[in-house]
Structure 1
Amino acid sequence: MMQQLEKQKLTPSIFEKMSEHEQVVFCNDPVTGLQAIIAIHDTTLGPALGGTRMYPYETVDDALEDVLRLSEGMTKKCAAADLDFGGGKAVIIGDPKTDKSPALFRAFAQYVDALNGRFYTGTDMGTTMDDFVHALKETNFINGVPKAYGGSGDSSIPTAKGVVYALEATNDYLYGSNTLGDKSYAIQGLGKVGYKVAEHLMEQGATLYVTDIFDEAIERIVEKGKMHGTKVHVVRSEEIYEVDAHIFVPCAMGSILNETTIASLKVDAVVGSANNQLTTPDMAMKLREKGILYAPDYIVNAGGLIQVSDELYEPNAERVLWKTKAIYDTLLDVYKVATNNGITTEEAANIKCEKTLLEQRHRNNFYSRDRRPKWQVRE
């Protein structure tokens, strides 16, 4: 049997890709057109928690690679944010503009339910709270739903607040003041999070350089700038890396920091909400060698995760804000550890997460408690 596997190069490579994950589930429902993958990376701290992304991946291998990377990032994010959850993620292969249906999300929810609490999920890129209202009909293990259904609402709000706290911490570390308004920012992506960050910076009087693939997003922020009497500089997508600004703020797709883009950067720091910004781990060293301070993305963008995880204790906006504010001190600590030990900020953040996982390995008893709010428990 092993000799047979060795001859079939594809099969062992798939298992090798999944080797650091506890569980990977392929979901297929021909009736609704559902094709999805759920990846559970690590449940040391508690059940896996992570959103479900819908994207028209060109191949199943592309979808698998993305979900494995994203779920591993969720383990780090939960550990860094001091949450009693592990890392997981799901991807649905399809165009969110044309391939969605209530039946598809109900079919997907049945796969989530079959995991019996090992995986909680909700919105991510390409999915909305309304999609998961349909999913709630099939499973209890959904969070990040509208307030009308007992949820805490739009998770992009605390995510954006977390980015702002991270920017303040970065300014404090680099310039000795956490004031935002006297600096310039190159913002890549004006979606749910990027727009809110841009809006806040604009209100503070900051100089903005922006880009987005959708013209309506650009027009919206430019009009907002006119209302505030602030000039918004619009640049093409490929030009955002060459902007002479203080901080680059990536809030769109991941894997955007590579040798080419890093060579083009003229900023002092990179602080943004996009997931998995480094194409490979060694890009953190490239940034350090160039003198660019990098804020590990899974610390910066943890605000939304904090909110959706909080729903399992019943929503509490004050508690979410309190934990999101901790991003400021967490990031400052990572910067100091990196500087004092001559390592990258990515390494410093990973060390912090590994320490948390080791300390909590035998202390978590999440599975022995039912933390689901009453509205979420079906009779």
Structure 2
Amino acid sequence: MNDTINRVETGAKVNKDFELFSDLQNMEHEQIVFCSRPEVGLKAIIAIHDTTLGPSLGGVRMWNYSSEKEAIRDVLRLSRGMTYKSAISGLNLGGGKAVIIGDSRTQKSEGLFRAFGRFVDGLSGRYITAEDVGISEREMEWIFTETKYVTGIPKHMGGSGNPSPVTGYGVYMGMKAAAKRAYGSDSLEGKRIAIQGAGSVASHLANYVSKENAALFVTDIFPEKAKKIANETGATIVDPDAIYTLDMDIFSPCALGGVVNDDTINVLSCDIVAGGANNILDNEEKHGEMLVRKGILYAPDYVINAGGIINVASELEGYNEQQSMEKTSRIYDTTLQIFDYAEKNGIPTIAASNKLADERIKAVAGIKTVYSSKSHFSGRKGETYLRNRS
């Protein structure tokens, strides 16, 4: 899959009349759904990448994209990442994602999210949605009003609530594994750690890191969010443009993707890149190789930020917070295994994690290739759980 996504990213020539279908085929997506309800301001895209292992599960994010093309590229990359994330985490789930085009700070409404929920429901379980960037538990409640195919609903409604605390914990475990590999010890004490983004995941990560007496730096395009983390953890606030040139040991992107690219790699002086954002590498193959040449260890993002999906996926079998945290702690061992595989095969860590995920998907592909809601949940806890929520 790595080669196909790079074709999209590098702008290889395709027949412009069928460019979207070409992208779907090359990135091996099964389905993309465009959702429009202008009376409530809904412009959304749902992408289902692969359902070999089970129904596609992935969050919906609300972002003020500059163009439809940007939104499509994001949802295709994110849904593909969810396939790998579930596979490498040992989950019986496929990869999907949704994006809502709009300003999450000013354009949210009950009608918009209930309309989105109806589109999700129309997919009959091929896509299960969850919380992502720009979305809170309130919006998940609105979606839940219209469909049972939703996870991450508030705990008082029987769900697992906001997955960010578990995601932050998983990133922390992955960061510690990277430190173990790079420094011989997983202690973060005294390490200069720069967190890009000050959202919910970053906030929880910062709290874990600060307890190890690391030297913490934080930045965000919204200064008030960075200030909140600084007040809670004693972190030093850095200007957004200055974060890349900071003298640091570990760079932790926890905002949007594509931040490790041609321009930023040249100025990074860290030993490790380990963050909670999705698609941190702008071009997986190219920038994975560039990090290796610079001697920077990369902890693949979809591996270490998998705590969120591990947490919400547990709702399908009856939520147990302790079990979710225990499963998320295994990210430490998974990350070390990926480092070992990369070294043994002489490939970048992102290529190693992709290969391991592909191997699991291919092993199951001969049993079941296209997901059916009836076959997946028949007689299983997940079906009972979803039925009881309807």
Q: Fold-level match, TM-score > 0.5? A: yes
Q: Distance in 1 between matches of 2:273 and 2:51?
A: 30
Indicate the residue corresponding to 1:138 in structure 2.
Answer: 146
Indicate the residue corresponding to 2:213 in structure 1.
Answer: 205
DSSP-derived class of the 1:95 partner: coil
- What amino acid maps onto 2:161 in structure 1? G
After TM superposition, the score normalised by the length of structure 2 is 0.91
Give the superposition deviation at 1:367.
4.4
Q: Distance in 1 between matches of 2:243 and 2:153?
A: 34
Indicate the residue corresponding to 2:129 in structure 1.
Answer: 121
Indicate the residue corresponding to 1:17 in structure 2.
Answer: 23
Q: Distance in 1 between matches of 2:302 and 2:72?
A: 20
Query: Equivalent of 1:152, from 160, 172, 175?
Result: 160
Indicate the residue corresponding to 1:256 in structure 2.
Answer: 259
Indicate the residue corresponding to 1:287 in structure 2.
Answer: 291
User: Which residues of 2 match residues 28-177 of structure 1 at below 5 A?
Assistant: 28-177=36-185
DSSP-derived class of the 2:91 partner: coil
Conserved? CA contact 1:271–1:295, under 8 Å? yes
- What amino acid maps onto 1:12 in structure 2? F
Give the superposition deviation at 1:212.
1.2
Unaligned runs of 5+ in 2: 1-13, 369-374
Conserved? CA contact 2:271–2:295, under 8 Å? yes
How many residues of Structure 1 are paired with residues of Structure 2 in the alignment?
367
- Structure 1 vs Structure 2: percent identity of aligned residues? 43
Query: Equivalent of 1:186, from 194, 199, 203?
Result: 194
| 1:245 and 2:236 are equivalent in the alignment | no
DSSP-derived class of the 1:264 partner: coil
Conserved? CA contact 2:175–2:299, under 8 Å? no
Q: Distance in 2 between matches of 1:274 and 1:336?
A: 23
Q: Distance in 1 between matches of 2:294 and 2:197?
A: 24
- What amino acid maps onto 1:328 in structure 2? Y
- What amino acid maps onto 2:295 in structure 1? G
RMSD: 1.6
Conserved? CA contact 1:242–1:266, under 8 Å? yes
Considering only CA atoms, is the larger Rg found in Structure 1 or Structure 2? 1
Conserved? CA contact 2:64–2:103, under 8 Å? yes
Q: Distance in 1 between matches of 2:106 and 2:232?
A: 30
- What amino acid maps onto 1:266 in structure 2? S
After TM superposition, the score normalised by the length of structure 1 is 0.93
Q: Distance in 2 between matches of 1:225 and 1:14?
A: 45
Give the superposition deviation at 1:63.
1.1
Give the superposition deviation at 1:218.
2.3
Conserved? CA contact 2:36–2:44, under 8 Å? yes
Conserved? CA contact 1:209–1:243, under 8 Å? no
Q: Distance in 1 between matches of 2:230 and 2:130?
A: 31
Conserved? CA contact 1:78–1:87, under 8 Å? yes
- Identify the range of structure 1 (92-101 vs 213-222) with the bigger mean alpha-carbon deviation: 213-222
Give the superposition deviation at 1:366.
2.3
